[in-house]
Amino acid sequence: DQNQDGYADWMVSSPGSLGSPLDDRVDLFYGGSPPSQNPYLTFMPREGAEAPYMYNRRPIGDFNSDGQIDWVIGYWMSGLDSVVFEFHGGGLVVDTFPEAVLSVPYEVGRSRLARLGDHNGDGFDDIYYHYNDLDQTYIYFGAADWNMSVDLTNRGEPVGSGNSDPMFEVFGDFNGDGYDDYFVQRVNGVDDSTLIYLGGVEPDTVADFVWFGNFAFPATLSADLNSDGAADLAVSRDPRTIDVHLGGADISPTPLFLLDYQGCNNVAHGIASAGDYNRDGFEDLVIVNEPCANGFGKLCLWLGGFWLNSDVQLWRAIGVGDVNGDGVDDLAIGCQGDVLNSRRGKVVILSGDTTLRVPVGELPPVAEEFSLYLYPNPANGYVQIEFEHNNVHGSADVGIYNLLGQMIDRIPLSGGMSSVNYNASHLASGVYLVRANSQTNYVTQKLVVLK
């Protein structure tokens, strides 16, 4: 709500092409009753400038913590080997003059800047820039003075920044502790893994959890599907299947349930929060299929127990909040510009509908109890490893891994055994990962060895 009138506002990015950079534009619109169809602010490419191409246009959250959403627009330099990011502050007074400027090296199509939520819990939203050439991710903590100094440097690209512009970032309070978390994917064909970095007062670049195996994309961590206060993870896996991992204190790499959406037999092109589209107290998901053989994209809206499907010529869909002031969250759809019909190149906003209610028996399930405890931690000798799961069947085991994903030790747990006193004295000082496995689930925790 940039102008503080009680209505949600929105930004529309209309990309041109490398051959026609002057077709690019970014428009900002005010909500209202009815919402405005005329932008109150427009950004255009700079004709004849050193940086004619617009790039990486997206909101970045409230970077300077003034209560308004800020945004960034990048401009490629003429050699396409660097980019200048201009940051704009939201609020009642809006203009095209940036609050801060950041110049960084750039690799076409692979390097990008996006938001990270409030990773260190200081009340300022944070951002990252991933430079693909070096596989480096630079994290900038939000600041009232728009300071653009690097605060953390990590390896790997955060999941969700995607291969096109814009994409939906994957961040949120996954473990429900009040700090936003993020994921990094490492894919090399040998020991593919997804690393989870939990937020905190002093966040670091040591992964708190490692999920082994290739992590699919797209994904979203922007919705609380079971309304328990923790962000939930929805990941596209197979054609027409979404894995859902419920957030909370016990994070598991095994999905708690699957969503089999109807539509074209393609992997989802995008997943995002639709807000609470039917105002039932639970956030909803919108999934967009890539265009099928008939040329239509598929929009699938999950309302916590059933699907609403529609064949429309679309490219993106995302919840935009309550733009018309009726108390119900609305949904915006970006329609492709290469289909000749009345919606070509337009944004269509669907008003939320409270008549679409979900029976109580079909509401999302609550996460089952599944936890791993290590103490003492840090340790220099024996470590007590306790594994609790309310649905253990048969045997289980515990694996000790280094941060490269290589197994150091394996401890079988037979006949319902749920704890072991592990001698870590032979391990060098450092950080290790302890993973407990059953036939139905597994969980990972970080172990610190100090000598």
Lowest mean pLDDT among 160-174, 366-380, 410-424: 160-174
Report yes or no on 320 lying in a domain. Answer: yes
Residue 402: give the domain boundaries. 372-449
Higher pLDDT, 163 or 226: 226
Q: Does the structure show a pLDDT above 90 at 152?
A: yes
Higher pLDDT, 164 or 363: 363
Candidates 60, 165, 187, 194; CA nearest to 119 is 60
Buried b (16+ CB within 10 A) or exposed e, 62-85: bbbbeebbbbbbbbbbeeeebbbb
392 to each of 96, 249, 267, 415, 416, how far by Cα in Å?
Answer: 59, 19, 32, 10, 7
Same domain flag for 343 and 271: yes
What's phi and psi for 316, nearest 5 deg? -140, 155
409 to each of 246, 384, 424, how far by Cα in Å?
Answer: 29, 15, 10
Same domain flag for 436 and 312: no
Higher pLDDT, 47 or 142: 142
Same domain flag for 267 and 330: yes
Q: Does the structure show a pLDDT above 80 at 241?
A: no
Give pLDDT, residue 339: 53
pLDDT in tens, 381-398: 999 988 765 544 445 678
Confidence of residue 359 (pLDDT cuts 50, 70, 90): low
pLDDT in tens, 313-330: 566 788 999 999 999 999
Give pLDDT, residue 78: 64
Top-confidence range, 193-202, 307-316, 359-368, 384-393: 193-202
Report yes or no on 35 lying in a domain. Answer: no
CA 300, chain centre distance (Å): 19
What percent of the chain stands above pLDDT 70?
A: 75
Report d(CA 425, CA 347) in Å as an integer.
61
Give pLDDT, residue 367: 40
Same domain flag for 286 and 352: yes
Same domain flag for 265 and 240: yes
Buried b (16+ CB within 10 A) or exposed e, 261-270: bebbebbbbb
Q: Where does a domain end: 299, 333, 364? A: 364
Report yes or no on 285 lying in a domain. Answer: yes
Report yes or no on 68 lying in a domain. Answer: no
Q: Does the structure show a pLDDT above 70 at 259?
A: yes
Averaged pLDDT for residues 164-169: 52
Domain count, the chain: 2
Q: Does the structure show a pLDDT above 70 at 166?
A: no
* CATH number of the domain enclosing 433: 2.60.40.1930
Same domain flag for 233 and 288: yes
Q: Concatenate the DSSP letters of all residues of 85-131 into one string.
A: EEEE--SSS--S--SEEEEEE--TTT-EEEEEE-TT-SSS-EEEEEE
Average pLDDT, the chain: 80
Higher pLDDT, 295 or 443: 443
Averaged pLDDT for residues 412-431: 81
Confidence of residue 13 (pLDDT cuts 50, 70, 90): confident
Report d(CA 346, CA 314) in Å as an integer.
9
pLDDT in tens, 220-240: 888 888 888 899 998 887 667
Q: Where does a domain end: 330, 364, 398? A: 364
Q: Does the structure show a pLDDT above 60 at 172?
A: yes
Q: Does the structure show a pLDDT above 70 at 188?
A: no
Q: Does the structure show a pLDDT above 80 at 22?
A: no
